[in-house]
Amino acid sequence: MRRIDPVHGLTAAVLSETAGGGLFLAASAIYFTTVVGLRPTELGTALSAGAVVALVSSYPVARIADRFGVQRSLALLHFWRGLCLLALPFVNGPIQLIAVCALLGLAQGADGPVLQALAGGIGGEGRVALMARLGMLRNVGFSVGVLAAAPVIATGSRLWFQGLLAADGLASVVAAVLVLLCRPAGQQHLDMGRLHPRRLGALRKPALWQIALVNGLLVLHATMLTIGVPIWVVSATKAPNVAVPGLLILNTALVVLLQVRLGKGNETLDAGIRTSRRAGLTLALGSMAVAAAALAPDPTTAVIVLTVAITLHTLGEIWQSVGNWSLSYSMAVPGSESEHIAVFEFGFLIQSVVGPALITGVVLALGTTGWLGLAVVFAAAALLVRPVALRAAASVHGAEQQMPHVIVGRHRLADMRQRSTAPRRTTPATHAGVARHRSVSRR
């Protein structure tokens, strides 16, 4: 079988998958509520069931992927997702939709960690830059899918809607084939799960859970943008309703333009910490700007303030994504990358479950005070990143005895661990200063 360039193949697979996802995002809710006739609560229940399955299954599926080989596993996840999507046109009731969404959740939860593990094998030293490129292409793919679905949505035809859902399924199958055709340099990056004996699961590392939860606080920006900002613009500001899609377009455009550029130079743990801290502080400023939009005296001023807010929010979003990739790679152990990244991504999955209720039930309910409180949360997460990330890196690599992969300044983590177990001859003040100023970086 002829192999294709791994970067080009993975790029094409991401574009195919996300373009299909754009079709689904644009058409699914309208189709099931207006054509099939499901109540919004029934649709919400089905989507929630899928989210819960994704949350519960992400770790075990990722762990299996490390054993089976991340390339074959990612292809299998895409293929499974494609089969589930191809079943959607035949759904006629809520029970059937819940079943399909639950099956779909099996692929959705581990898809991200396994993709990131494969990208790490392909990208090598430039793995974060490659993820930034793929992140940018995800936005392009979703935008293409949404735009392609618009004419079909306008027709309201049941047959055309079913065609869109089927096209999404076929796009996933195409992505699976493209992934299988890739062959990264260095076979060990694909099948190292079979070569590396397991000693201690990532689930047993509390420090890794702590950095995952801190990251989950930063990922609240996703729900803030898709739910919080639109409702706030319509209900609390003088900006016209048409400003909502305009702000979302601005966000997408900025991500496409800046994701790759801002993703460069973030291949170490120390760089990931700095970028994540920058993300938290920028998101805090964005939240305060969103709150200030309610004080604007006229529509023009409100739109200007919201534009500044979304610009800040988007910069924070990009930096959070880049910091997320850098930190999660630094927390991964050779032979179980998908497993460790899956635990790191639990923060994102938990946020996707509780985030909507938090934004609507607390932030929006409290109004300006709620947005300022959200800014405090982002700022607090920024301050927590460094100590929690350093502790997680020491815990992960110390437990797996992979000391050469993590460096503290110019000293290996192994040296730091030896010093920590040796008799302490420094004063408390000296010890605290060292802990504050040492930085950890991968490799």
Note the pLDDT of residue 184.
Answer: 57
For the chain, percent of residues with pLDDT exceeding 70: 84
- Contact between 391 and 206 under an 8 Å Cβ cutoff? The reply is no
Asked if 6-181 and 205-400 have one fold, the answer is yes
- Strands (E) across 111-263 are located at none
Classified as helix, coil or strand, 324 is helix
d(CA 369, CA 41): 30
Classified as helix, coil or strand, 307 is helix
Query: Angle at CA 352, nearest 5°, toward 346 and 354?
Result: 100
Query: Angle at CA 222, nearest 5°, toward 206 and 19?
Result: 110
Q: What is the pLDDT of residues 136-160, one digit of tens each?
A: 888 888 888 888 887 887 777 889 8
- Contact between 305 and 239 under an 8 Å Cβ cutoff? The reply is no
Q: What is the pLDDT of residues 238-254, one digit of tens each?
A: 999 888 888 888 988 89
For the chain, percent of residues with pLDDT exceeding 90: 31
Q: Who wins on pLDDT, 439 or 259?
A: 259
Domain range summary for the chain, segments of one domain joined by +:
6-181, 205-400
* 6-181 is a CATH 1.20.1250.20 domain: yes
- Contact between 281 and 380 under an 8 Å Cβ cutoff? The reply is no
Torsion of CA 335, 339, 343, 349, to 10 degrees: 140
**End-to-end alpha-carbon separation of the chain, Å?**
35
Name residues whose C-beta falls within 8 Å of residue 381's C-beta, 6 or more positions apart in sequence.
214, 215, 217, 218, 280
Q: What is the pLDDT of residues 48-82, one digit of tens each?
A: 888 889 888 888 888 888 888 888 899 999 999 99
Residue 133 is encoded by which pair of tokens?
């490129």
pTM of the model: 0.75
What's 205-400's CATH class? mainly alpha
Note the pLDDT of residue 404.
Answer: 38
Q: Who wins on pLDDT, 34 or 431?
A: 34
Q: Report CA-CA distances (Å) from 338 to 61, 109, 365.
A: 9, 12, 38
Which H helix or E strand runs over 377?
helix 368-400
Name residues whose C-beta falls within 8 Å of residue 245's C-beta, 6 or more positions apart in sequence.
none
Nearest CA to 225 out of 150, 297, 139, 140 is that of: 139
How big is the chain by its Cα radius of gyration, in Å? 22
The mean pLDDT of the chain is 81
Q: What is the pLDDT of residues 76-87, one digit of tens each?
A: 999 999 999 999
Q: What is the pLDDT of residues 375-391, one digit of tens each?
A: 999 999 999 999 998 88
* pLDDT higher than threshold 50 for residue 197: no
